């Protein structure tokens, strides 16, 4: 049963839409847990504070009755399914609640052999958007409090799921703030662009929250933690910070699905998704490649082709 959405009138989604999605998720989750289709399910439960949500692994139909979907369901739950999170997938086939942007990460992780499609039951959400970081929270989701990524989402009607909760959301006509900011920075002279990023990188405290939340930062030993020999200075000083951000951007180029979780959790408000998007744009222009649209074993930066453009090598 699909929940029917309110039309996005005046960029405003009513709470009743999220309630209907919640109901559909609960019904489906109870069914697949009762039938034994899955051993557990990663979804959202209410947080301790009113109006919040928290990720949870549930294993019983009784717990499934408490699942929610609300604008506070910001986390990309695919991060719990990588091999580095030992234990979750060992339980057996796992259900997962996924927004469209989370599904891009799932496709990427399938391509990188972190998870197998047959080990998942995907309950996708026809998504009406989630709250932005620090945005004023109200009963309704509006253009003023929705996450920046949702302002120009192209994947909120998910495809390839086992079940879709909700339907007919319309997120068209919103102001693409991030695209505008990217165009502004691209138009700056090189020295000013460098000054922009230098200032942002200088505020990085190397808490590594952006790494911990990223579904694609699953290496058991991160190059940036290695100290014998040390590849990247680990204390928050300018040279090490710049190196860390270059390593992060390059390791995620062609893999990042754009969930913007890294930017959401950054305590220093560094616009990491601008870098992610810029790298994605390069990949699209150079290789006509977009990460996360379908499982792909290797992106353009991790495969060799004889017809690759070599002209930049002098």
For ligand SF4, which residue of 40, 111, 254, 257 counts as binding (CB under 6 A)? 257
Strands across the sheet with 53-58, in order? 53-58, 40-46, 94-98, 120-125, 163-165
For ligand SF4, which residue of 188, 207, 231, 250 counts as binding (CB under 6 A)? 207
- Enumerate residues 6+ apart whose C-beta is below 8 A from 83: 89, 114, 218
Q: Count other C-beta atoms under 10 Å from residue 133's C-beta.
A: 13
SS3 266: coil
Binding mask 153-192 for ligand SF4 (x = CB under 6 A): x-xx--------------x---------------------
Q: Judged by CB under 6 A, does residue 275 bind ligand SF4?
A: no
Residue 257's nearest CA partner among 207, 199, 304, 217 is 217
Count residues near ligand SF4 (CB under 6 A).
41
State the minimum distance, in angstroms, from the CB of residue 156 to ligand SF4.
4
Footprint on residues 93-152 left by ligand SF4 (CB under 6 A)? 99-101, 105, 127, 129-130, 147, 149-150
Residue 141's nearest CA partner among 257, 19, 258 is 19
Q: Kindly tell me which of 63 and 112 has the beta carbon lying closer to ligand SF4.
A: 112
Does residue 287 contact residue 300 with C-beta atoms inside 8 Å? yes
d(CA 169, CA 75): 20
State the minimum distance, in angstroms, from the CB of residue 22 to ligand SF4.
15
Q: Judged by CB under 6 A, does residue 268 bind ligand SF4?
A: yes
SS3 94: strand
Q: Which residues bind ligand SF4 (CB under 6 A)?
A: 99-101, 105, 127, 129-130, 147, 149-150, 153, 155-156, 171, 204-210, 213-216, 252, 256-262, 265-268, 270, 272-273, 276
């Amino acid at each position: 049963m699909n929940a029917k959405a309110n039309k996005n009138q005046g960029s405003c989604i009513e709470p009743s839409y999220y309630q209907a999605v919640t109901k559909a998720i609960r019904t489906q989750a109870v069914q697949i847990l009762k039938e034994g289709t899955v051993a557990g399910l990663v979804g959202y439960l209410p947080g301790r504070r009113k109006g919040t949500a928290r990720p949870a692994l549930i294993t019983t139909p009784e717990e499934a009755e408490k699942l929610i979907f609300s604008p506070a369901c910001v986390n990309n739950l695919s991060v719990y399914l990588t091999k580095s999170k030992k234990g979750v997938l060992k339980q057996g086939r796992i259900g997962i609640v996924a927004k469209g942007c989370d599904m891009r990460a799932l496709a990427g992780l399938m391509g990188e052999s972190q998870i197998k499609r047959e080990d998942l039951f995907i309950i996708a959400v026809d998504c009406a958007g989630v709250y932005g970081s620090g945005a004023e929270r109200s009963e309704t989701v509006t253009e003023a409090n929705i996450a920046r990524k949702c302002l120009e989402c192209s994947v909120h009607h998910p495809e390839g799921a086992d079940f879709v909760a909700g339907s007919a959301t319309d997120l068209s006509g919103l102001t693409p703030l991030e695209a505008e900011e990217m165009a502004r920075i691209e138009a700056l002279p090189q020295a000013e662009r460098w000054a922009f990023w230098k200032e942002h990188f200088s505020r990085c405290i190397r808490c590594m929250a952006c790494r911990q939340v990223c579904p694609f930062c699953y290496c058991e030993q991160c190059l940036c933690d290695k100290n014998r020999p040390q590849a990247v200075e680990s204390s928050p000083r300018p040279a090490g910070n710049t190196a860390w951000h270059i390593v992060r951007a390059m390791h995620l180029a062609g893999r990042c699905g754009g969930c913007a979780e890294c930017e959401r959790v950054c305590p220093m408000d560094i616009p990491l998704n601008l870098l992610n998007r810029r790298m994605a744009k390069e990949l699209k222009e150079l290789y006509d490649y977009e990460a996360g649209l379908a499982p792909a074993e290797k992106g353009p930066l991790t495969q060799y082709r004889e017809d690759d453009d070599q002209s930049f090598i002098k």
